[in-house]
């Protein structure tokens, strides 16, 4: 049978598909002939950075990915860890940065849709999502619009599907002015012996398509010369897909119902590169081949070419390999849920992807060429020449503020620190009635119904730290995520990441990437939290300016008894305030230095992973023994900001009287606003202070009494010298209203 | 005692209502698919929250045509207990089992937050165990909860003591500042003329357990169950 070759292939067409001359030559080598346009399209998406991880793969191998609890590491639709009781926590994080910048509502919405499918594809019911967002300065009206649109998109999609968005983080910085970040995380629960994988095994098994019909949306490279391969289609569709959360909800329920029966072999979401990647990856994992019959694919409009059908990124679609003979059972299940469903192919033993369009052979490619044999690049790495300059910082030239209270109020209004109520009010964060620590604490906590357990979730990354020192910044992101989990009382289990960087073709970016991977690896190994899934987003760059490197870390922790948990807000008058981990703060890379002095220099806080472990262990033990009524990580903005957040996060604002020790005679601003790792603020009933001190001693974690909860003011002295005295009501207003004020909307 | 928890395509608080009834209140509960046509054997019906049919046309406007809704109408007309929460309230309104309409929140945004509610009447099976004027706390989670009705309907609701809950502040004042969505006269929940059909935007299913920090919703469910037990005796 002749391969369709209506369009004569040239290197120029290949280049417009983002394939280099060498890559095109490799394709010709794999096929033993020139590809046709459909085959070229298939290669271009499968060999794209997004699908092939060609620039990152050599580095990602350094991540620790195994551990006693790991059931599924990287390489599947999502990672899975054992949480005991026959249950697995299944989770992953993904980016939807580029589409969200073009069309914030749909970009963010479809990001949520994609990550939900990655999780329920594994047979897990999604029970919680987080999102992590970066924008340019909110003084720019475009970024106010982007923020509003992204939040509305997450809200519109997640709320409708009925998966609560229980937390996340948000900050703004000029380096994101040309490239915003939208990273979404979802966690689901499955029976650990009932996980499903994306595999197309069993020659002769039917390949079944279910979900939305395929349209022309999101076709990669659809802008290129569409007239050449589709004379009927002169319309250029936007490359951002449109989400349909209602169909997603039906798909979710139908798939979970299907998975409870013994009917299917493998299942995979048609995400990026749709039908192409789902079929190739499933066949690749199983070492089989797949034959697809495009004339059977449910479609939204007539006249679609094989190229369009194979590359469409229409949302809310899944590809299933069923057990032979179970076709009718599978079809019935989806018909119950009113979803389009069709048998569109079969598993073969040929090792090739064979695409039939009616009686015509539209494409035939060895599966290996698309998956395992895709290019892998060890791209050049070069430390930025100004890296040393970035770290040079002499605090002695820095003027001390004359009003420390005003500095505190200013920092509390920085978007990254400000209360996120305006955002989380728009997310349904309670549906499924599992949210026992709501958004606004270091970690959200959800209970697992039918058990005594709970899971704590947190996502973190300080982009500025990573810009100043990507290795340390990567490690600090892991340490902070784990610290947040420990502040809820939970034991950190595992990590999923979303590595957001500029262009990998820039050696300086690859240096940042490689360093960050090393930092994350070191911290994950030390803290016993393997990386079980993740995502890389390169090319976050506009007009030659890349974003600050942002390796986002989402961590999951386990509470064996969900009732033994803590949150960050002070609740009890008269409680003692203790500081676990006495590490002195430093001004390098701090929010204070950036927001008050306009400087982004210096070295980020140092990290002693052994001390970090001891501090976190002591914190968890204090909470587990019921000794601490609140625990809060002291990170961005230093101790003063952390204390203020603890005063303002409880059911009602409450004051505190604090005297920070300063044995080394450091500058007052350094003690108040300097940042450090491995520090946790605890609120402890007066009668239990000695017990908590004993817990700290047992864990060899430094501890100091620094104050008392109570009153209407937050008063902070440094070495006995009173420097901050602010009404908590005023601080509360500055903190809670900041985001709405900067967005120019009503709270 | 057996409750039907209706499941429409897009319902997403069905599991929450089921959990609250079965595992917290301790009564029998069953999911009933919207294509079913009978409610025989059930003592009460819960229409849960969510986004039936994606809320794509108008909240509740498509769900009301589901086969099960004929059975719900019959059940309600016969005096059976029907409670519609959030999207369930919207469906009841679209089905004509409760008067008025639920339009877009005045702030045009989805709101998920705890609100205070004042109990306006204890003359319903759902509120018999509250005190009149008592202030409850319950979460809301909706974008279309702005209760709207013509003046005659409002007048009639008040005259017949059909307004069950009003949004209020912590001290029980139902002023505009305590109105989250622009609902007329701060109305958060109403009952049918017969008092047996309750529609409310707040979620009792989300505050029915100590671990969730609030049990006001549990009191509502218990009140409903107790009233039904008494009426059966």
Under the banding of pLDDT at 50, 70 and 90, the label for residue B177 is very high
- Closest CB to A430: pick one of B9, B15, B112: B112
Cα of B179 to nearest chain A Cα, Å: 14
Query: Is there a contact between B110 and A246 if contact means CB atoms under 8 Å apart?
Result: no
* CB < 8 Å from B in window 313-372 of A: 337-338
Per the structure block, which two tokens stand in for B178? 């305590």
pLDDT at A235: 46
Give the pLDDT score at B161.
Answer: 97
Chain B nearest CA to A156, separation (Å) = 8
Which CATH number among 3.30.2090.10, 1.20.1290.10, 3.40.50.720, 3.40.50.880 corresponds to the domain B2-232?
A: 3.40.50.880
* 8 Å CB contact of A425 and B111: yes
pLDDT at A477 over 60: yes
pTM of the model: 0.95
Q: Report helix, strand or coil for A488.
A: coil
Nearest to A273 by CA among A549, A542, A45, A116: A45
- Predicted pLDDT of residue A7: 66
Asked if A451 is an interface residue toward chain B (Cβ–Cβ < 8 A), one would say no
Residues B215 and B24: beta-carbon distance below 8 Å = no
Query: pLDDT for A228-285, tens place per residue?
Result: 333 443 344 456 788 999 999 999 999 999 999 989 999 999 987 889 999 999 999 9
Output the average pLDDT for chain A. Answer: 94
Q: What is the pLDDT of residues A143-170, one digit of tens each?
A: 999 999 999 999 999 999 999 999 999 9
- What chain B residue is nearest to A452 in terms of C-alpha separation? B211
- Residue B167, classed as helix, strand or coil, is strand
How far is the alpha carbon of A250 from chain B, nearest alpha carbon, in Å?
Answer: 7
HSE at residue B230, side-chain half, CA atoms within 13 A, is 10
Confidence (pLDDT) at B230: 85
Secondary structure letter of residue B25 according to DSSP: I
pLDDT of residue A120: 96
B10 touches chain A (CB under 8 A): yes
- Quick one: B175 exposed, middle or buried, by C-beta within 10 A (0-12, 13-18, 19+)? exposed
Measured from the Cβ of residue A688, the count of other Cβ atoms closer than 10 Å reads 19
Question: What Rg value do the Cα atoms of chain A yield, rounded?
Answer: 26
Kindly give, in sequence order, each residue whose CB lies less than 8 Å from that of residue A193, ignoring residues fewer than 6 positions away. A86
pLDDT single digits (tens) A404-446: 999 999 999 999 999 999 999 999 999 999 999 999 999 999 9
Q: Tell me the percentage of chain A whose pLDDT exceeds 70.
A: 96
Task: Give B213's contacts in chain A (Cβ within 8 Å).
Answer: 436
Residue of B nearest to A245 (CA): B54
Neighbours of A279 (CB within 10 A): 31
Tell me the chain B residues in contact with residue A424 when contact means C-beta distances shorter than 8 Å.
112
**Contact with chain A for residue B204, Cβ under 8 A:** no
Query: What is the spatial distance between Cα A238 and Cα A235, in angstroms, rounded to a whole number?
Result: 10
Q: Which two tokens stand for residue A447?
A: 């209970």
Q: Mark which residues 221-250 of A lie under 8 Å from B by CB.
A: 244-247, 249-250
Most distant CA pair in chain A, distance: 88
**Alpha-carbon Rg for chain B in angstroms:** 16
Q: Beta strand pairing status for A289-293 and B2-7?
A: unpaired
DSSP output for B133-178: T-EEEEEEEES--EEE--HHHHHHHHHTT-EEEEEE-TTS---GGG
Q: Look at A228-237, A243-252, A458-467, B125-134 and tell me which has the smallest mean pLDDT.
A: A228-237
Vertex A273: Cα angle to A175 and A349 (nearest 5) = 145
Does residue A93 contact residue A534 with C-beta atoms inside 8 Å?
Answer: yes
Rounded-to-10 torsion of CA A24, A500, A161, A558? 120
Q: DSSP characters for A425-449? A: TTS--STTS-EEE-BTBSSEEEE-T
Query: Which residue of B54, B113, B205 is in closest CB contact with A425?
Result: B113
* Residues A396, A382: Cα–Cα separation, whole Å: 32
Q: Could A246 and B20 be called an inter-chain contact, meaning their C-beta atoms sit closer than 8 Å?
A: no
Residues of chain A neighbouring B111 (CB-CB closer than 8 A): 425-426
Q: Which residues pair with A211 in a beta bridge?
A: A317
Distance from CA of A287 to the nearest CA of B (A): 38
Kindly provide the b/e burial profile for residues A646-674, where b requires at least 16 CB atoms within 10 angstroms of the residue's own CB: bbbbbeebbbbbbbbbbeeebbbbbbbbb
- CB A273 within 8 Å of CB A51: yes
State pLDDT tens for residues A610-651. 999 999 999 999 999 999 999 999 999 999 999 999 999 999
Q: Please indicate whether residue A597 is annotated as part of the active site.
A: no
Tell which residue, A426, A527, A520, has the closest CA to residue A482: A527
Asked about A17 being catalytic, the answer comes back as no
Residue B233: predicted pLDDT: 55
DSSP bridge pairs for A361: A3, A356
Report which of residues A222 and A641 the model is more confident about. A641
Which of the residue ranges A86-90, A99-103, B23-27 would you say has the lowest mean pLDDT? Answer: A99-103
Residues 6+ away with beta carbon under 8 Å from A451: A85, A87
Decide: A300 and A211 in contact? Cβ < 8 Å.
Answer: no
Per-residue model confidence as pLDDT tens digits over B139-164 = 999 999 999 999 999 999 999 999 99
Q: A747: nearest CA in chain B?
A: B107
Segments in A122-220 forming alpha helices (H): 141-161
B54-72 mean pLDDT: 95
Q: Do A160 and B10 count as a contact with CB atoms less than 8 A apart?
A: yes
pLDDT value at residue A746: 62
Q: Under DSSP, is residue B198 helix (H, G, I), strand (E, B) or coil?
A: strand
Contact between B59 and B97 under an 8 Å Cβ cutoff? The reply is no
The whole-number pLDDT of residue B232 equals 66
Quick one: average pLDDT of A340-346? 97
List the structure tokens of B144. 């279309």
Q: Give B203's contacts in chain A (Cβ within 8 Å).
A: 430
Angle, alpha carbons B21-B24-B28 (nearest 5°): 40
Over residues A274-318, the pLDDT tens digits come to: 899 999 999 999 999 999 999 999 999 999 999 999 999 899 999
**Closest-approach residue (CA) in chain B for A425:** B112
A432 in contact with chain B, both atoms CB, cutoff 8 A: yes
B50 touching chain A per CB within 8 A: yes
Confidence of residue A29 (pLDDT cuts 50, 70, 90): very high
Quickly tell me which residue has 């784990």 as its tokens.
A482
Res. A221: pLDDT tops 70: no
Contact B51 A337 (CB under 8 A): no
Nearest chain A residue (CA) to B52: A246
Residue B102's DSSP bridge partners are B147
Mutation choice for B interface testing from A433, A437, A449, A561 by most B CBs within 10 A: A433
Minimal C-alpha gap between B16 and chain A (Å): 6
Q: Please name the residue ranges forming H helices in A103-140.
A: 104-120
In the 8-state DSSP scheme, what is residue A601?
Answer: -
Write out the H or E segment, with its range, that includes residue A252. helix A245-259
What does the pLDDT look like over A488-547, one tens digit per residue? 999 999 999 999 999 999 999 999 999 999 999 999 999 999 999 999 999 999 888 889
What's the confidence (pLDDT) of residue A648?
Answer: 98
Is A574 a residue whose pLDDT tops 90? yes
- Of B48, B39, B60, nearest in space to B21 by CA: B48
B61 and A CB contact within 8 Å:
no
ipTM passes above 0.85: yes
Contact check, Cβ <8 Å, B112/A449: no
């Amino acid at each position: 049978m002749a391969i369709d070759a209506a369009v004569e292939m040239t290197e120029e067409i290949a280049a417009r598909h983002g394939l280099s001359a060498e890559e095109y030559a490799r394709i010709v080598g794999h096929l033993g002939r020139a590809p046709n346009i459909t085959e070229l399209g298939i290669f271009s998406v499968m060999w794209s950075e997004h699908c092939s991880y060609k620039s990152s793969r050599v580095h990602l191998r350094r991540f620790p990915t195994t551990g006693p609890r790991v059931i599924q590491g990287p390489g599947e639709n999502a990672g899975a860890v054992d949480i005991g009781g026959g249950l697995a926590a299944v989770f992953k994080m993904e980016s939807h940065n580029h589409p969200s910048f073009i069309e914030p509502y749909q970009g963010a919405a479809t990001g949520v849709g994609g990550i939900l499918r990655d999780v329920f594809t594994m047979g897990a019911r999604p029970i919680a999502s987080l999102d992590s967002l970066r924008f340019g300065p909110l003084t720019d009206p475009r970024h106010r619009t982007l923020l509003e649109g992204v939040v509305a998109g997450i809200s519109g999609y997640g709320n409708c599907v009925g998966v609560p968005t229980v937390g996340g983080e948000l900050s703004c910085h000029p380096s994101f002015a040309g490239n915003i970040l939208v990273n979404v995380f979802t966690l689901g629960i499955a029976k650990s012996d009932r996980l499903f994988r994306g595999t197309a095994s069993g020659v002769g098994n039917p390949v079944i398509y279910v979900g939305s019909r395929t349209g022309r949306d999101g076709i990669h490279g659809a802008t290129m010369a569409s007239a050449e391969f589709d004379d009927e289609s002169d319309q250029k569709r936007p490359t951002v897909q449109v989400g349909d959360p209602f169909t997603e909800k039906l798909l979710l329920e139908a798939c979970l119902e299907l998975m409870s029966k013994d009917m299917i072999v493998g299942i995979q979401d048609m995400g990026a590169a749709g039908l192409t990647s789902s079929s190739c990856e499933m066949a690749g994992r199983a070492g089989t081949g797949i034959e697809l019959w495009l004339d059977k694919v449910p479609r939204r409009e007539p006249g679609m070419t094989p190229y369009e059908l194979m590359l469409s990124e229409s949302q809310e679609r899944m590809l299933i390999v069923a057990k032979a003979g179970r076709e009718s059972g599978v079809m019935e299940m989806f018909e119950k849920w009113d979803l389009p469903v069709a048998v569109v192919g079969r598993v073969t033993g040929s090792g090739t992807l064979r695409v039939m369009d009616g009686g015509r052979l539209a494409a035939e490619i060895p599966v290996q060429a698309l998956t395992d044999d895709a290019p892998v690049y060890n791209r050049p790495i070069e430390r930025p020449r100004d890296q040393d300059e970035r770290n040079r910082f002499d605090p002695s030239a820095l003027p001390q503020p004359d009003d420390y209270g005003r500095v505190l109020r200013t920092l509390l209004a920085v978007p990254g620190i400000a209360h996120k109520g305006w955002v989380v009010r728009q997310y349904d964060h309670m549906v499924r009635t599992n949210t026992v620590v709501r958004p606004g604490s270091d970690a959200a906590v959800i209970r697992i119904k039918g058990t005594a357990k709970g899971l704590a979730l947190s996502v973190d990354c300080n982009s500025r730290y990573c810009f100043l020192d990507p290795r340390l910044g990567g490690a600090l992101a892991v340490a902070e995520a784990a610290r947040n989990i420990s502040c809820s009382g939970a034991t950190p289990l595992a990590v999923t990441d979303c590595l957001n960087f500029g262009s990998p073709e820039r050696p300086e970016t690859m240096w940042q990437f490689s360093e960050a991977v090393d930092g994350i690896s070191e911290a994950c190994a030390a803290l016993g939290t393997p990386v079980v899934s993740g995502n890389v987003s390169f090319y976050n760059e506009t007009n030659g300016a890349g974003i600050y490197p942002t390796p986002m870390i989402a961590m999951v922790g386990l509470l064996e008894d969900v009732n033994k948990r803590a949150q960050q807000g002070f609740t009890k008058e008269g409680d003692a305030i203790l500081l676990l981990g006495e590490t002195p703060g430093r001004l390098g890379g701090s929010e204070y230095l950036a927001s008050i002095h306009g400087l982004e220099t210096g070295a980020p806080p140092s990290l002693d992973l052994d001390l970090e472990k001891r501090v976190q262990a002591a914190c968890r033990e204090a909470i587990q023994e019921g000794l601490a009524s609140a625990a809060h990580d002291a990170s961005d903005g230093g101790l003063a900001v952390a204390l203020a957040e603890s005063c303002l996060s409880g059911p009602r604002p409450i004051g505190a009287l604090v005297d920070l020790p300063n044995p080394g005679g450091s500058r007052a601003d350094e003690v108040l606003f300097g940042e450090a790792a491995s520090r946790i603020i605890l609120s402890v009933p007066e009668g239990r202070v000695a017990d908590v001190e004993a817990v700290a001693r047992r864990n060899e974690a430094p501890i100091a009494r620094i104050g008392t909860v109570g009153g209407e003011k937050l008063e902070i002295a440094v070495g006995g010298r009173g420097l901050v005295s602010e009404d908590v009501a005023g601080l509360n207003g500055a903190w809670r209203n900041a985001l709405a004020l900067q967005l120019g909307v009503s709270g | 005692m057996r409750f039907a928890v209706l499941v429409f395509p897009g319902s997403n608080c069905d599991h929450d209502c089921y959990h609250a009834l079965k595992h917290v209140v301790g009564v029998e509960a069953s999911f009933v698919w919207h294509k079913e046509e009978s409610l025989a054997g059930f003592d009460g019906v819960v229409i849960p929250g969510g986004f039936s049919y994606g809320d794509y046309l108008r909240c509740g406007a498509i769900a009301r045509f589901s086969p099960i809704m004929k059975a719900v109408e019959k059940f309600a007309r016969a005096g059976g207990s029907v409670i519609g929460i959030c999207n369930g309230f919207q469906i009841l309104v679209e089905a004509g089992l409760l008067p008025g309409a639920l339009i877009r929140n005045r702030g045009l945004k989805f709101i998920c937050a705890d609100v205070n509610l004042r109990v306006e009447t204890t003359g319903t099976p759902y509120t018999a165990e509250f005190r009149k004027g008592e202030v409850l706390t319950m979460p809301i989670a909706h974008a279309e909860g702005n209760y709207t009705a013509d003046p005659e309907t409002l007048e009639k609701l008040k005259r017949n003591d059909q307004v069950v809950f009003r949004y209020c502040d912590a001290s029980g004042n139902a002023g505009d500042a305590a109105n989250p969505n622009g609902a007329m006269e701060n109305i958060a929940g109403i009952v049918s003329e017969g008092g047996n059909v309750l529609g409310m935007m707040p979620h009792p299913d989300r505050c029915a357990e100590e671990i969730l920090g609030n049990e006001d919703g549990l009191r509502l469910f218990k009140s409903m169950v107790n009233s039904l037990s008494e009426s059966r005796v």
